Amino acid sequence: MARIAGVDLPANKPAFIGLTAIFGIGRTTAMEILEKAEIPNGKRIKELTNEEIDSLRRIIEETYKVEGEKKSEIRQNINRLKDIKCYRGIRHRQGLPVRGQRTRTNARTRKGPKKGAVALKKREIKK
């Protein structure tokens, strides 16, 4: 089992799909990495030699921001938006959709579960 950037890559998947298990690497980036390392696309992770895995690891560490480094960069960008109090930062702070989606309906992912309507209690009638 290959381990790159602190992630165990799935052994039975093709190399370009297996690399996408690393946060910050998608299919296009994975294809670029394999091209730089001169590894065929169809080769599976379990078929890679130690030299090929080392070359992949070296290319990823030198060229790309992945995993914790990428997550911290994203977090810093969001905090910068919040600090300068721009529209997107305000939306992040309020927990509402940032990219212009409607909120009258939907938006449950950002807003969380529905809060039920508060029922009014009938006042007891004094006799």
* pLDDT tens for each residue of the chain, 127 residues long: 788 888 899 989 999 999 999 999 999 999 999 999 999 988 999 999 999 999 999 999 999 999 999 999 999 999 999 999 999 999 999 999 999 999 988 889 999 898 877 766 666 666 6
| CATH number of the domain enclosing 44 | 1.10.8.50
Residue holding tokens 């065929």?
A: 40
Residues 11 and 50 in one domain: yes
Cα separation, 90 vs 12, in Å, equals 44
* CATH at 103: 4.10.910.10
| Boundaries of domain holding 59 | 3-63
Same-domain pairing of 56 and 20: yes
With contact defined as beta carbons under 8 Å apart, do 12 and 46 qualify? yes
Number of domains making up the chain? 2
Residue 52: count of CB within 10 angstroms of its CB: 18
Report the predicted TM-score, pTM, of the whole model to 2 decimal places.
0.75
